[in-house]
């Protein structure tokens, strides 16, 4: 198989063993593999229909897998049957309609690079290049432009999917199935193709000015982050980042505006991009111990982001700087909270990790917040805003036992439930189907009657 991976030093998508794991391996390198028994490699919608029918006839649950970057055991199964979208990567651009139609296995970095040749770009793209269109659409899709464009799923205008009976459906925003399948984690069928709105932009050359605020106190950081996520902001891209070292911490709030083009700014943005890539390359190519040090340099660089980056570098920021597969293992937990509750949820998530830190299971923790204004999340209410809160914790797998991890996860879920927040379900959550349903942004659109919940979560 081709290795399409853009930035992992430790794992290759070309290895067969990749199929036995998801991103959980980054948090626990010794986690037991869950080898599938059967793998389908469709290239077309017709192939997907065939695979779905074969699996259904054999009474097998079909696990849909994009790049396997989720970490909630959604894409692995011991002895299971996996449909891998790897070979479904066709992309077509419609310049007149400002849309792009792609097969579900297309990697969004490839799509964006292809679009750049036509003077377009995706409105919402993840910061990691290996994420597939189908995988992103099945969880939601958030970027530092989500306060303008919503989730990736809000930019989708047309969807083709194959249901569990092997029937092909095409649907759009007016159809009931549309939002049910989007962010549906593969429960309602296999997304085969999707069309998304584009923006006219040159991501590689558009220089932004980062009006950043640096702060050394958590209370001040949270107050400023709250202001960022609660209020409409003219910034084109926005994010907040805090590093918690236990006794100390440091943070920054970044609002990116269009910079007037001046040769010195273009030069500074090129130097910043070079610096970003240099740290990223060091993390990827140095021997493991030195790579781990470079990774911490990358994390430090996140606290002091460049003043004049290009759009591309803002979108790929974290991934440029630190390869998560190098250095100490990390676990990611994400909540999507109503904006007014974001500060409380962020604090609660850190406290949940703090308890595990006392047991020696958690080291430094990074906290990101991104503002979101999403019709999908708000049920089309204009006045409702959300925030993505990501906690990336460095962990010691020896002390982060399954029971300690479950306690952290349940506490984070409790915090989310107390504040009517969602969890981003591609990261580890409770396994209780009822709790998962309350935490699921898709629940508003999904339906129990079809039995999909029962069938897939059982």
Ligand X SMILES: Cc1cc2nc3c(=O)[nH]c(=O)nc-3n(C[C@H](O)[C@H](O)[C@H](O)COP(=O)(O)OP(=O)(O)OC[C@H]3O[C@@H](n4cnc5c(N)ncnc54)[C@H](O)[C@@H]3O)c2cc1C
Cβ neighbours of residue 174 under 8 Å, at least 6 residues apart?
Answer: none
Residue with Cβ nearer ligand X (423 or 426): 426
Determine if 75 is a binding residue for ligand X (CB under 6 A): yes
Identify which of 320, 250, 253, 327 has the alpha carbon closest to the alpha carbon of residue 280. 320
Determine if 357 is a binding residue for ligand X (CB under 6 A): no
In sequence order, what E strands does 313-441 have?
Answer: 330-338, 362-372, 386-395, 422-423
The minimum distance between CB 399 and ligand X, in angstroms, equals: 23
Letters for 14-53 (x = contact with ligand X by CB under 6 A, - = none) are ---------x------------------------------
Determine if 68 is a binding residue for ligand X (CB under 6 A): yes
Q: What part of residues 156-185 is at the interface with ligand X (CB under 6 A)?
A: 185
Residue 207 three-state SS:
strand
Which one of 76, 85, 206, 254 is in contact with ligand X (CB under 6 A)? 85
Identify which of 124, 179, 116 has the alpha carbon closest to the alpha carbon of residue 155. 124
Residue with Cβ nearer ligand X (18 or 120): 18
The minimum distance between CB 298 and ligand X, in angstroms, equals: 13
Kind of pairing, strands 362-372 and 168-171?
Answer: unpaired
Which one of 27, 77, 129, 134 is in contact with ligand X (CB under 6 A)? 134
Which one of 104, 182, 201, 282 is in contact with ligand X (CB under 6 A)? 104
Residue nearest to ligand X as judged by C-beta position: 135
H helices within 231-326, ranges in order? 263-285, 288-303, 311-315, 317-321
Q: What part of residues 259-298 is at the interface with ligand X (CB under 6 A)?
A: none
d(CA 210, CA 206) in angstroms, rounded, equals: 13
Query: Rounded to the nearest 10 degrees, how much is the dihedral formed by the CA atoms of 114, 112, 152, 250?
Result: 170
Which residue matches tokens 């009976």?
165
Residue with Cβ nearer ligand X (136 or 218): 136
Determine if 67 is a binding residue for ligand X (CB under 6 A): yes
DSSP string, 218-241: HHHHHHHHHHHHHS----SEEEEE
Determine if 142 is a binding residue for ligand X (CB under 6 A): yes
Give just the sign of the alpha carbon dihedral 48, 54, 58, 59.
positive
Residue 115 three-state SS:
helix
> Which window, 127-135, 206-214, 246-254, 277-285, contacts ligand X (CB under 6 A)?
127-135
Residues in the chain: 458
The minimum distance between CB 427 and ligand X, in angstroms, equals: 8
Residue with Cβ nearer ligand X (162 or 222): 162
Determine if 121 is a binding residue for ligand X (CB under 6 A): no
d(CA 196, CA 137) in angstroms, rounded, equals: 10
d(CA 330, CA 23) in angstroms, rounded, equals: 10
Total of residues contacting ligand X (CB under 6 A): 31
C-beta pairs of 40-47 under 8 Å, 24+ apart in sequence: 40/81, 40/82, 40/83, 40/84, 41/84, 41/86, 41/87, 42/83, 42/85, 42/87, 42/88, 43/87, 43/88, 44/88, 45/160, 45/162, 45/168, 45/192, 45/193
Are 126 and 23 in contact by the 8 Å Cβ rule? The answer is no
Determine if 138 is a binding residue for ligand X (CB under 6 A): yes
Which one of 74, 153, 387, 452 is in contact with ligand X (CB under 6 A)? 74
Determine if 322 is a binding residue for ligand X (CB under 6 A): no
The minimum distance between CB 292 and ligand X, in angstroms, equals: 17
Letters for 188-227 (x = contact with ligand X by CB under 6 A, - = none) are --xx------------------------------------
Q: What part of residues 419-448 is at the interface with ligand X (CB under 6 A)?
A: 426
Tokens of 364: 């430094």
Residue with Cβ nearer ligand X (133 or 405): 133
Which one of 40, 120, 136, 445 is in contact with ligand X (CB under 6 A)? 136
Positions that interact with ligand X (CB under 6 A): 23, 64-70, 74-75, 85, 104, 126-128, 131-132, 134-136, 138-139, 141-143, 185-186, 190-191, 324, 426
């Amino acid at each position: 198989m081709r290795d399409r991976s853009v930035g992992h030093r430790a794992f290759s998508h070309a290895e067969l063993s990749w199929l036995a794991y998801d991103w959980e391996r980054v948090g626990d390198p010794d986690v037991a593999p869950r080898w599938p028994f059967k793998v389908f490699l469709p290239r077309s919608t017709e192939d997907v229909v065939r695979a779905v029918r074969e699996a259904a006839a054999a009474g097998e649950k079909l696990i849909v897998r994009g790049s396997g970057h989720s970490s909630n055991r959604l894409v692995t199964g011991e002895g299971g049957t996996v449909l891998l979208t790897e070979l479904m990567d066709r992309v077509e651009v419609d310049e007149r309609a400002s849309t792009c139609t792609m097969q579900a296995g297309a990697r969004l970095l490839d799509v964006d690079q292809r679009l750049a040749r036509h003077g377009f770009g995706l409105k919402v793209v993840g910061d990691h290049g290996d994420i597939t269109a189908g995988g992103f659409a099945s969880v939601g899709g958030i970027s530092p432009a989500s306060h303008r464009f919503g989730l990736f799923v809000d930019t989708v205008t047309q969807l083709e999917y194959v249901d569990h009976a092997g029937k092909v459906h095409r649907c759009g925003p007016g159809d009931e199935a549309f939002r049910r399948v989007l962010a549906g984690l593969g429960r309602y069928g296999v997304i085969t193709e999707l069309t998304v709105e584009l923006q006219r932009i040159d991501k590689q050359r558009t220089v932004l000015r980062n009006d950043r605020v640096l702060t050394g106190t958590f209370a001040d950081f949270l107050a400023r982050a709250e202001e960022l996520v609660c209020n409409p902001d003219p910034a084109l891209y926005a994010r907040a980042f805090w590093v918690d070292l236990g006794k100390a911490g440091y943070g920054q709030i970044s609002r990116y505006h269009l910079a007037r083009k001046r040769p010195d700014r273009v030069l500074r943005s090129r130097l910043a991009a070079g610096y970003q890539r240099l740290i990223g390359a060091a993390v990827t190519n140095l021997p493991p111990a030195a790579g781990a040090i470079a990774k911490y340099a990358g994390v430090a660089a996140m606290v002091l982001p460049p003043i004049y980056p290009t759009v591309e570098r803002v979108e790929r920021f974290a991934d440029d700087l630190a390869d998560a597969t190098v250095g100490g293992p990390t676990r990611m937990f994400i909540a999507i909270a109503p904006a007014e509750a974001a500060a409380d949820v962020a604090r609660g998530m850190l406290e949940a990790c703090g308890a595990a830190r006392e047991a020696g299971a958690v080291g430094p923790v990074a906290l990101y917040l991104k503002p979101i204004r999403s019709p999908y999340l708000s049920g089309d209410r204009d006045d409702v805003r959300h925030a993505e809160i990501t906690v990336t914790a460095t962990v010691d797998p020896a002390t982060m036992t399954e029971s300690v991890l479950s306690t952290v996860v349940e506490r984070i879920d409790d915090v989310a439930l107390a504040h009517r927040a969602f969890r981003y379900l591609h990261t580890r959550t409770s396994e209780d189907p009822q709790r998962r349903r309350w935490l699921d942004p898709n629940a508003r659109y999904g339906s129990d009657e079809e039995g999909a919940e029962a069938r897939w979560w059982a």
